[in-house]
Amino acid sequence: MTLKNKTCEPCRGGVPPLTLDAAQAMLANVPAWVLNASGTRLSRRFEFTDFATAQAFAVKVGEASDTEGHHPVLSYSWGYCEVVFYTHKIGGLHENDFIMAAKVNALG
């Protein structure tokens, strides 16, 4: 099953976050996303030609994430929207973050 068709499983906390190596390996499945240096955050910046389109995209991502119960930080202004996934309960990345990144790529 491709990543974008998977469903986020409830994340209970207590499980370890993905290691940096594991996160880097999964990155190949989500083109254009980047990891921070410690491998604890997964982000992608989308560019737009105005404010309204950037906001509409944020809302589309937000709705998809609310459906899965796994929410990014969405930051946008004129011409861009940045999406950052991170799993608070485990202080790093979970497969859920990559599933959501793949779903966002399918929206873009």
Contact 93, 100 (CB under 8 A): no
Of 25 and 34, nearer to a copy of itself (C-beta) is 34
Q: Does 75 bind a copy of itself (CB under 8 A)?
A: yes
Of 29 and 71, nearer to a copy of itself (C-beta) is 71
Contact 107, 64 (CB under 8 A): yes
Strand partners, 70: none
Contact 51, 8 (CB under 8 A): no
Q: Does 59 bind a copy of itself (CB under 8 A)?
A: yes
Q: Which residues bind a copy of itself (CB under 8 A)?
A: 51-52, 55, 58-59, 62, 65-66, 71-78
